[in-house]
């Protein structure tokens, strides 16, 4: 790494020997042996079990709950309904920050969607609580629900998800369109999807006087602590939130939901710890989902096949009582060279739970539609899909005019196409076969932004040469325990085996949000800077000490590696332990921050290219993905093993989005008909016969000091379109709805 006496907060730095290694997960043994403690594994003394009773209709009100029957059941301790539920300090509708949805805490008897909590039952055992919830036998005054894009109520808005603008315009689309040689249109619908992490949402809450201890899987520990405190009317210092392990989150566990607050309020009211674990079917509704979209695109081309204008419009759903709009059209802002660009979003209100961020929010459905439209444009121009994309390659960000911080997309196209064998693709649809099956080859471009949040960290170097690093990071399976420890070890200049990593609870420095593919960059920068700060203090001790071989090295500087400080001018060195011992210190403690200062002056994205092969049964319309190859440029790769795992996971998610995942409503009741993993299909091993993800080397001196981008979400964004285009190539039928149904191909 660079001179650590002058490094912190400056320029681009070189990571040392730990970052870049394909290390196995540091928490792997805990997980495979069952020693990892998840929220639902906690059993404090005096525990009460909570079960939510949920609505069986989508619109109307609850007219009767048989509370007496439920409370008469042996083991049932209390039933909370709108008549007696404890109240929050703030209104359930209070928006104290962009990550707050309406807190559904049994405030009235109205029903706004199927699966909405309508009561909370507390009992000595889980079985008694579940039976008590059944005995409530709710009766309703039902109204006709609206659950689809076609019957929902339209409304106009200036913003989409997280307050982003609902529209964008640059250039003059109408003028460019009037002079264009070719006009290509495409309409693509995407379905409602649900997160379905292995670990369902859960919480264990215990009060000790005025102090609250919470165990709950959470992607935004510091922010959630502040939110809980606000709605409970207590000081944040009175709350300890623990979340050492998450069994998947995908965005849903960054958002608090009413059931968590109800469990906390019940624990305070009853003076006993309370545990609430959602059933699998209760994961469909109260805790967010990806809303369906209907996207219309028009691409106007000049005679040479250059994009003259691009327009992308999205219609999407939100709930009747809150707002989160899937920002799908934004996927067209920064990918292809469109001198005239217009995007828009329109909302519709339906009787469904409020949508929320789900892996690659906006970009996943938006890029799927864009890539299908790009193949249509390539066909209209008489060009190969890859050739067409290269012809319309954006050297600067079309929506802002800014230069990219880095862009290795050309290399991604080259490497993935070569490995896939794209040069052997025949142009005509239905021209390739494998036996009696139709074979199709398709491609899609992947892109995802590189955000950074606010984060803080501590690093303590001890007298024995070991270190403790601390930040409230969230590891939801992406490998944060390992990758962040690698970065911290390099900041400290020691071997990773000497680093103890403490994370996952709110008494530690806030690591920001584990989402948006920004957690490693954000928390990693804070940890590296904390380590560098500790080493800087060591360097000051040594270079000012006449007894040290580093004395007087302040101008030349020192370098840290392998637990020693080295003079940059003549390589004399001294171990950390000797420096601390001579100073009479047991430790030095460094502090670090991770954030992006000011507004960026460059466009910052990860990029990639995905190539897909499908086999389609011409008689049955069944589609199988037989090969899937992607190449990705995502800045500095901290751990190739973990990065590949994340990229493969995203690509597999893309298979599900293209061919399987779809929530289906009964339009009479508004209830989901497939709220389980039997009816809601996701890819399994048999669906992925051959898949590979490559990373392309990319140095980015602008995205952050460490040059780190994100890999958690980009794998989805190119894959869905690649599969859709492969199906089109195999069958000659352009997909207009995702997932692709077999009957649409017959």
Residue carrying structure tokens 């690698």: 486
Q: Which residues contact 441 (CB under 8 A, 6 or more apart)?
A: 420, 422, 425, 432, 611, 612, 613, 726, 729
Catalytic residue positions, numbered? 713
Report DSSP state, residue 255: S
Say how many CA atoms lie within 13 Å of 561 toward its Cβ: 16
Nearest to 106 by CA among 86, 91, 123: 86
- Give CA–CA dist 705/455, Å, rounded: 14
- Alpha carbon distance 630, 693 (integer Å): 5
With 0-12 / 13-18 / 19 or more C-beta atoms within 10 angstroms meaning exposed / middle / buried, residue 242 is buried
SS (H, E, C) 263-280: HHHHHHHHCCCEEEECCH
Residue with tokens 């207009």: 736
Q: Which of 308, 371, 305 is nearest to 340 (CA)?
A: 308
* Burial call 696-730: b when 16+ CB within 10 Å, e when fewer: bebebebbbbbbbbbbbbbbbbbbbbbbbbbbbbb
Task: Return the closest-CA partner of residue 207 out of 75, 68, 322, 48.
Answer: 48
Three-state DSSP state, 483: helix
For 64, other C-beta atoms within 10 Å of its C-beta total 12
Among left, alpha and beta (phi > 0; psi -120 to 50; other), residue 671 is beta
* CA pair distance 540, 726, nearest whole angstrom: 61
What is d(CA 397, CA 600) in angstroms, rounded to the nearest whole number? 13
d(CA 194, CA 287): 9
CB 275 within 8 A of CB 42: yes
Report d(CA 631, CA 684) in Å as an integer.
22
Q: Where are the alpha helices (DSSP H) in 99-211?
A: 126-135, 173-178
Phi, psi (rounded to 5 degrees) for 706: -90, -10
CB 39 within 8 A of CB 217: yes
Peptide bond into 317 cis (omega under 30): no
Who's near 285: CB < 8 A, 6+ residues apart? 54, 113, 114, 115, 116, 352, 353, 672, 675
Do residues 610 and 444 make contact, with C-beta atoms less than 8 angstroms apart? yes
Contact 342, 173 (CB under 8 A): yes
Q: What angle do CA 301, 305, 311 make, to 5 degrees?
A: 30
Judge residue 463's burial from the number of C-beta atoms within 10 Å of its C-beta, 0-12 exposed, 13-18 middle, 19 or more buried.
middle
């Amino acid at each position: 790494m660079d001179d650590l006496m002058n490094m912190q907060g400056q320029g681009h730095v070189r990571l040392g020997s730990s970052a870049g290694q394909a290390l196995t997960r540091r928490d792997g043994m805990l997980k495979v042996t069952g020693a990892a403690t998840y929220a639902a594994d906690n059993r404090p003394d005096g525990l009460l079990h909570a079960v939510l009773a949920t609505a069986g209709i989508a619109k109307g009100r609850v007219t009767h709950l048989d509370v007496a029957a439920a409370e008469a059941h042996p083991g049932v301790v209390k039933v909370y309904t709108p008549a007696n539920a404890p109240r929050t300090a703030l209104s359930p509708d209070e928006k104290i920050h962009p990550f707050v949805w309406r807190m559904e805490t049994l405030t009235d008897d109205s029903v706004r969607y199927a699966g909405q909590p309508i009561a909370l039952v507390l009992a000595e055992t889980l079985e008694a609580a579940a039976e008590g919830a059944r005995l409530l036998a709710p009766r309703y005054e039902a109204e006709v629900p609206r659950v689809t894009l076609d019957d929902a109520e339209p409304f106009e808005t200036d913003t989409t998800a997280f307050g982003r603008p609902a529209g964008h315009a640059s250039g003059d689309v109408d003028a460019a369109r009037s002079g264009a040689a070719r006009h290509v249109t495409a309409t693509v619908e995407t379905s409602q999807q649900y997160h379905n992490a292995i670990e369902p949402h859960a919480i264990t809450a215990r009060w000790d006087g005025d102090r609250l201890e919470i165990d709950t899987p959470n992607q935004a520990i510091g922010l959630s602590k502040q939110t809980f405190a606000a709605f409970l009317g207590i000081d944040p210092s009175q709350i300890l939130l623990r979340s050492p392990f998450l069994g998947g989150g995908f965005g849903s566990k960054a958002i608090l939901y009413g059931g968590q607050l109800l469990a906390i309020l019940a624990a305070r009211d009853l003076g006993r710890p309370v545990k609430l674990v959602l059933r699998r079917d209760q994961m469909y509704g109260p805790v967010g989902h990806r809303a369906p979209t209907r996207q219309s695109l028009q691409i106007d081309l000049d005679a040479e096949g250059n994009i003259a204008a691009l327009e992308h419009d999205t219609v999407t759903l939100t709930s009747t009582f809150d707002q989160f709009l899937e920002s799908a059209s934004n996927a067209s802002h920064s990918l292809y060279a469109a001198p005239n660009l217009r995007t828009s979003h329109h909302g519709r209100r339906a009787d469904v739970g409020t949508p929320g961020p789900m892996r690659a929010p906006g970009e996943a459905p938006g890029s799927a539609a864009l890539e299908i439209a790009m193949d249509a444009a390539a066909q209209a121009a008489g060009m190969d899909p890859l050739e067409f994309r290269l012809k319309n390659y954006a050297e600067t960000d079309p929506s802002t005019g800014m230069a990219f911080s880095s862009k290795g997309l050309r290399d991604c196209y080259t490497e993935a196409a070569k490995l896939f064998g794209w040069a052997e693709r025949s142009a005509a649809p239905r021209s390739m076969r494998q036996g009696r099956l139709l074979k199709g080859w398709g491609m899609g471009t992947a892109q995802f932004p590189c955000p950074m949040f606010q984060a803080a960290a501590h690093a303590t170097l001890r007298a024995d040469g070991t270190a403790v690093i601390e930040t409230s990071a969230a590891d939801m399976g992406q490998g944060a325990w390992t990758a962040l420890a690698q970065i911290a070890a390099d900041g400290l200049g020691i071997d990773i085996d000497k680093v103890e990593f403490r994370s996952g609870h709110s008494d530690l420095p806030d690591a920001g949000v584990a989402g948006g593919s920004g957690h490693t960059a954000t928390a990693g920068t804070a940890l590296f800077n904390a380590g560098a700060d500790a080493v800087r203090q060591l360097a000051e001790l040594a270079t000012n000490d006449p007894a040290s071989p580093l004395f007087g090295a302040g101008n030349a500087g020192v370098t840290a590696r392998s637990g020693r400080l080295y003079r940059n001018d003549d390589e004399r060195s001294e171990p950390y332990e000797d420096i601390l011992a001579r100073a009479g210190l047991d430790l030095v403690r460094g502090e670090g921050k991770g954030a992006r200062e000011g507004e960026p002056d460059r466009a910052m994205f990860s990029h990639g290219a995905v190539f897909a092969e499908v086999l389609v049964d011409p008689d049955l319309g069944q589609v199988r993905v037989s090969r899937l190859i992607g190449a990705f440029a995502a800045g500095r790769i901290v751990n190739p093993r973990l990065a590949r795992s994340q990229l493969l996971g995203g690509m597999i998610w893309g298979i599900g989005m293209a061919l399987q995942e779809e929530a289906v409503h009964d339009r009479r009741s508004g209830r989901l008909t497939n709220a389980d993993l039997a009816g809601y299909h996701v890819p399994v091993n048999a669906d992925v016969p051959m898949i590979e993800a490559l990373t392309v080397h990319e140095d980015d001196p602008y995205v952050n000091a460490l040059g780190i981008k994100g890999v958690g979400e980009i794998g989805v964004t190119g894959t869905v379109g690649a599969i859709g285009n492969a199906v089109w190539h195999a069958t000659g039928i352009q997909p207009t709805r995702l997932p692709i149904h077999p009957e649409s191909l017959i």
